[in-house]
Chains A and B, each alone.
Chain A
Amino acid sequence: MNLHYLMNELYYQKRRTITAIIGLSIGIALLIILNSLSMAYRQAAQVPLKEIGADITVQRPGDVPKELSGAVFPCSAVTISDEELKKIQPLPGVRGLGKAVLLWVFDPNRAWIVLGIEQQNPVGPSILRHSVTEGRFLEEGKVEALVEVAYARQFNLKIGDTITIANTTFPVVGLVDASRAAKIAVANVYLPLAEAQKLAASSSQLQSVSPFGPNDVNLLFIKADQEKITWLASALKDILGKKATIGTPDSFLKLLGSLFALSDKFNLAASIIAIFVAVLIAFKTMAGNIAERAREIGVLKAVGWTNRNVVTQLLAESVVQCFIAGILGLVIAAIAAFALSFMKVNIPIPWDMSPTPHFLPGGGDQIFKTLRLPVHIPWTLATFATLLSVLIGGLTGGLLGRNISKIKPSEVLRHE
């Protein structure tokens, strides 16, 4: 193989070199960007759950009491019993469990959405400790409340005030900006889990439709092994019943509704089509190129180049050309990924996961988690795409070179 000859061929035959490189690079860029987009949507779909420190959320829908007074459960989250919790905890793949109690409390003068949280558990709503804007977060063993900053503003609540929820008084120790945190399980007031459990257990309205024990909860947040999430979702339904609402990255992906997010099969098919078209373009251009060079190949053979010499030269040309195309495809994809990373994606949060009574202000509004699409090209994909383009070059050059090297010099050099 003569490198100088190779470079001259690519340099002086600019038009065909550029056509082949651009054709293949677009295919490679498409492959990279389709897969990067798919990964970005998958990553985006994980954000609402990640923000609450979990991989899975668990709820069980049920009935609402006929009369809405005192503490009640929203219809999307009724009792998950202590016995059920004990079955869930040891499931394979469960790395952490966060518990919470979400209540609607209808007092004579005010309605509250109350969330009882485990203050020290990193899995679940205690992640709110990073969103405290004033005062402090809830401390272990204390009976106190954290108020959502917008709610506090609306009802003129300040740190040091006391609030009375279902006849129990709580001092306000901090304000929290829930809009900066997860959109799941958003409440007006955050209490220690034990206090919320007491409110629930002592509510006759609530007990009438959904019996609740002192250690029961109605929201679960599970940190899980990524590869076990699908299996766990199914195991949880076995324990809690088919009607249980299991929130996973996949369920959020489905909510996104994007074509890229919808199906791995679509992504695979689109990638295969992109590569097929790229290979076709590369093959067609190189086949045309080699056919044009039949006489040149004849000269090479006449002056003593063996078939192997000819194939090696053409294969090297093709590999170098396709390698350049691969790098260009990577650059195009990187530019496209950068541009796409400015795109915003709205992930709808189902009402079930952040239930607000419809008759309260904003109660019927769809909540979205808005974020920039995290499009980036992983090095594994970049390496794969580059190697693929080299492989395409090798196969194309090898096949075409082998074919053309069989020509007889006398046939192509004959009469001039």
Chain B
Amino acid sequence: MNNGTILSGTNLSKKYGDLEVVKHVTISINAGEFVCLVGKSGCGKTTLLSLLSGLERPTSGQVKLDDTDITSATEDQLALFRRENVGFIFQSFNLIPTLTAWENVALPLFPIKMSGDERHRRATELLEKMELGHRMDHLPAALSGGEKQRVAIARALVNNPKVLFADEPTGNLDSSTGDAIMEILTKLHTEKGVAILMVTHEVELAKTAQRLIRMHDGEVVA
């Protein structure tokens, strides 16, 4: 692993039956780097993101985060790895509908032994940073799309992740809200130095990233 590399995937392949959706991909992301993974729908971007984030196991190849090989980890070890190292932002927000905004943000902290006050403080702080201090006790159904995604970003940050994985984070938003979300991600990267791997098929959005990785038919092409 090169100096500064926080996440790497070596010779990663993923097969579903006979269908190979990721083909011998080698990729690395440096600490604090903002990388965009672009390509057409169905080219394997989301699968690659799942492999790198530990949501899915590769058929072959190796994933390392901070020099730790996660490829052979058990399900529960992977869950703990995700809890301690990564954050996720999904296209459709994936908030829990029965939990309020602050509870959604604190969700990754629920299984961790800590005081309720500390949990609340961390969630509140992040929501205030997302300018959602006034929406803390609202259920997701009462929030707009942009607000939901900001809650999701706060949730992704609550465990101080080393890498943030964003899968089409603006895909369900109108362009102005999408721009606002991108602004937040950029700010996170520049101010906090969080490494970001973002999947998108919108080339314009990808321009905000420091590095662009193109995928085509399961392979990295550039």
- Measured CB to CB, the residues of A under 8 A from B are 2, 4-5, 8-9, 11-13, 295-296, 298-309, 408-410, 413-416
| Known pairs A12-B139, A300-B107; A416 contacts B79 (CB<8 A) | no
Separation of A305 and B107 alpha carbons in the complex (Å): 9
B26 contacts A by Cβ under 8 Å: no
Q: Is the CB of A302 within 8 A of B103?
A: no
Which residues from chain B sit less than 8 Å from chain A, CB to CB? 46-47, 50, 55-56, 75-76, 79-80, 82-84, 88, 90-92, 94, 96-99, 103, 107-108, 110-111, 139, 155, 159, 167-168, 171-172
A301/B79 in contact, CB under 8 A: yes
User: Do B80 and A12 touch (CB < 8 A)?
Assistant: no
* Given known A304-B84, A408-B55, contact A8–B46 (CB-CB < 8 A): no
Nearest residue in A to B94 (C-beta to C-beta)? A299
Q: Are B94 and A307 in contact (CB under 8 A)?
A: no
Cβ contacts under 8 Å, B80 to chain A: 304, 306
Q: Report B47 CB to chain A, min CB distance, Å.
A: 8
Q: How far is the CA of A12 from the CA of B125 in the complex (A)?
A: 26
Give the residue name and chain of the A residue nearest to B110 (CB).
Answer: A2
Measured CA separation A413–B110 after assembly (Å): 21
With A408-B55, A410-B50 in contact, is A5–B91 under 8 Å at CB? no
With the chains together, A414 CA to B47 CA distance in Å?
9
Q: How far is the CA of A413 from the CA of B89 in the complex (A)?
A: 11
Separation of A299 and B92 alpha carbons in the complex (Å): 11
Question: Which chain A residues lie closer than 8 Å to B47 at the CB level?
Answer: 410
Q: Is the CB of A303 within 8 A of B139?
A: no
Which of B55, B82, B103 is the one whose CB lies under 8 Å from A413?
B55
5 shortest A-B CB distances, which residue pairs? A304-B83, A416-B92, A12-B98, A303-B108, A410-B56
Do residues A309 and B91 form an inter-chain contact, with CB atoms below 8 A? no
Q: Find B155's partner among A13, A303, A307, A416 (CB 8 Å cutoff).
A: A303
Bound together, the chains give a CA A27 to CA B91 distance in angstroms of 44
**Contact between B82 and A8, CB atoms less than 8 A apart:** no
Q: Is the CB of A5 within 8 A of B110?
A: yes
Look across to chain A and name the residue whose beta carbon is closest to the beta carbon of B107.
A303
Contacts of A410 in B (CB 8 A): 47, 50, 55-56
Q: List 7 A-B contacts (CB under 8 A).
A: A299-B94, A305-B108, A305-B111, A306-B79, A307-B76, A416-B92, A416-B167
* Smallest beta-carbon distance B76→chain A, Å: 4
Instruction: Collect the chain B residues with CB atoms within 8 Å of residue A409's CB.
Output: 55
Residue in B108, B139, B167, B168 whose beta carbon sits within 8 Å of that of A304 in the complex: B108
Q: Are B96 and A414 in contact (CB under 8 A)?
A: no
Alpha-carbon distance between A296 and B139 when the two chains are bound, in angstroms:
15
Could you tell me the distance between the alpha carbons of A307 and B172 in the complex, rounded to whole angstroms?
A: 30
Which residues of chain B have C-beta atoms less than 8 A from A296's C-beta?
96-97
Shortest CB-to-CB span from A223 to chain B, Å, is 62
Q: How far is the CB of A295 from chain B (nearest CB, A)?
A: 7
9 new A-B contacts at CB < 8 Å, known A296-B97, A302-B82, A415-B91: A8-B103, A302-B88, A304-B82, A306-B75, A306-B79, A413-B90, A416-B91, A416-B167, A416-B172
Specify which chain A residues have a CB less than 8 angstroms from the CB of B50 in the assembled complex: 410, 414
Nearest-neighbor residue (CB-CB) of A415 within chain B = B46
Cβ-defined contact, A304 with B98, below 8 A = no
**Residues on the A chain within 8 Å of B82, using CB:** 302-304
- C-alpha spacing A299/B168, complex, angstroms: 16
Asked if A8 and B94 make an inter-chain contact with CB atoms under 8 angstroms apart, the answer reads no
Whether the Cβ atoms of B75 and A8 lie closer than 8 Å is no
Nearest CB in chain A: distance from B114 CB, A: 12
Contact: B79 with A305, CB < 8 Å?
yes
Contact between B55 and A304, CB atoms less than 8 A apart:
no
Chain B residues within 8 Å of A305, by CB: 79, 83, 108, 110-111
Which chain A residues lie closer than 8 Å to B96 at the CB level?
5, 296, 299
Q: How far is the CA of A303 from the CA of B50 in the complex (A)?
A: 13
Contact of A295 among B94, B103, B110, B172 (CB under 8 A): B94
Q: Using Cβ atoms and an 8 Å threshold, which residues of chain B touch A304?
A: 79-80, 82-84, 108, 111, 159
